Structure 1
């Protein structure tokens, strides 16, 4: 019997090179760099699509376009430094101040009604006596799944007297037909769209917080003779206060950034100006007036106001939670 060739690769009895173990220093270096490698894609996306546009908007807000002569020919229009001139013009612009006042009135209607309905539905679905809770959650949440532009179009045609079934019924009965697209009723019409679409999301947040509460607390309260209304008012609502603060925080931000409802309803009525809300003012200045520098300054001011208001609300919420916590 012939012996196996010792020099053949992979032959029986051939020796293999020992596995090279990494040094402790290399292993520690890899362990330290691994989290940064996982975070790197998110950091790049954040820098490209969030931080960079914000920085560019700030840079534009500090410049302006200077036209030489008739503005014809190459080099007739130049971008020059403006400093805080755009911000001064924006803060003294009556259109921006009026749009801020309109959004304030709009928010005074939307936020309390929407959060009140969300809390009511969440407490109702959390009750043990309610049947078909799964269907109720889906039915209340479903309007939130409808895109805002489509919802505004649907409600806009329901508001129009020529095609609205509500106006048809009022005419058939002989009752007066209110103009829901003009005057003071316009606030209620747009607030109705926001409430219809946002109540479901806030309800889900509050309802999830209610379902996470221990059932022993409610059983003890019932044994002590508390009614369902007393349990809801004295136990459930105080225990879900952080969720209420969170939904209030989201609702205020959405109110300050209202754009879809008035912009979609504007072609259907003459009662909505092009600067009805601050974001509509930004859109009008940038794409209708062609003044992207003033629009950038207004956008930066709106972002700062939103940030400061959010910071103040969170600070007040944390302070009240800390003072109310047991020591």
Structure 2
């Protein structure tokens, strides 16, 4: 009896191992690509950040965490970080509120041609980022485009979207124009999953439009709002295309360290400081991950 039980256990174990082997056949290709395209670059960047190129003798020398200490004390890095932090605090709430209002309006069933407006609002997201910045660059130009034409029309020079005071709002306007439709689609998709019974219960209780939004729609959107906020935070800290392209129009306003990503890019490809560039990228990635995790954790707690 004992021998048969033991034999049965061995057979069950072999079946389980066989099933696990089949699972690895399907998961293996993904894990291989994930390791090569995600883990390997991160590991190599960490490796680079632990070395420093010698100025006179050439070659890399191991310096441990010295590059990280230098990054923490780097005023240019913190200037760039402070700029994107201000950008995040101001631009992200405005963009998400506009996307939320658009989603609520389209979902309300009171907006005629809702499908048309949904496509129109989402369409800027389909425009390639470089093309979008070039379009707005021609509008912002001081010597050409809409801003210059308005200055000529009114005989003034007050409209200067590419000046030092207005550059960050001008970039924020481009990013908002690009991504309102994307976030609107996230919110609208979440609204479409709300059960119709909740709307019927709200109507029976005598809830009006605004009370229905507050009591039914906004709670249903909480998870989508958290996701959109996390994506927007990551996107804000990754700000690169817009200022890098506009730099050709305003080189005296947009510096090589206007954003952390621009700073890392120029350190690497213009200054040939690959080790320190990798350090800046890793420090910025850690900060972004911490902030995104805190937002996700707080959003999950509020949802509970």
**Cα deviation, residue 89, structure 1:** 0.8
- Corresponding residue for 2:84? 103
Distance 1:176 1:67 in 2: 47
**Cα deviation, residue 26, structure 1:** 7.0
- Corresponding residue for 1:212? 193
Aligned-pair RMSD on alpha carbons? Answer: 1.7
Distance 1:59 1:271 in 2: 34
Aligned partners of 1:209 and 1:243 also within 8 Å = yes
Compared CA separation, residues 172 and 48, structure 1 to 2 (3 A): same
- Corresponding residue for 2:20? 32
Distance 2:64 2:147 in 1: 53
Aligned partners of 1:167 and 1:177 also within 8 Å = no
**Cα deviation, residue 88, structure 1:** 0.8
Runs of 4+ aligned structure 1 residues displaced above 6 Å come to 23-26
Distance 1:84 1:26 in 2: 48
**Cα deviation, residue 143, structure 1:** 0.5
Q: In the TM superposition, what whole-angstrom CA distance separates every residue of 1:91-129 from its partner, at most 9, and x where no partner exists?
A: 111100100111111112210110000000000000121
Distance 1:67 1:262 in 2: 31
Aligned partners of 2:151 and 2:159 also within 8 Å = no
- Corresponding residue for 1:57? 45
> Does residue 80 in structure 1 map to residue 61 in structure 2?
yes
Distance 2:106 2:90 in 1: 24
- Corresponding residue for 1:298? 280
Compared CA separation, residues 25 and 120, structure 1 to 2 (3 A): closer
In structure 1, stretches of 5+ residues that fail to align are: 1-22, 69-75, 323-327
Query: TM-score of the superposition, structure 2-length normalised?
Result: 0.91
SS of the residue 2:256 aligns to? coil
**Cα deviation, residue 67, structure 1:** 3.9
**Cα deviation, residue 224, structure 1:** 2.8
- Corresponding residue for 1:275? 257
Distance 1:176 1:66 in 2: 49
**Cα deviation, residue 176, structure 1:** 4.7
Distance 1:280 1:166 in 2: 26
Query: TM-score of the superposition, structure 1-length normalised?
Result: 0.85
Distance 1:287 1:237 in 2: 46
Distance 1:306 1:28 in 2: 41
> Does residue 162 in structure 1 map to residue 146 in structure 2?
no
- Corresponding residue for 1:15? none
In terms of Rg, which structure is larger? 1
Distance 1:256 1:175 in 2: 35
Compared CA separation, residues 213 and 24, structure 1 to 2 (3 A): closer
Which protein has the bigger helix share? 2
Structure 1 residues 256-275: aligned runs within 5 Å? 256-269=237-250, 270-275=252-257
Aligned partners of 1:96 and 1:278 also within 8 Å = yes
SS of the residue 2:52 aligns to? strand
Compared CA separation, residues 36 and 166, structure 1 to 2 (3 A): same
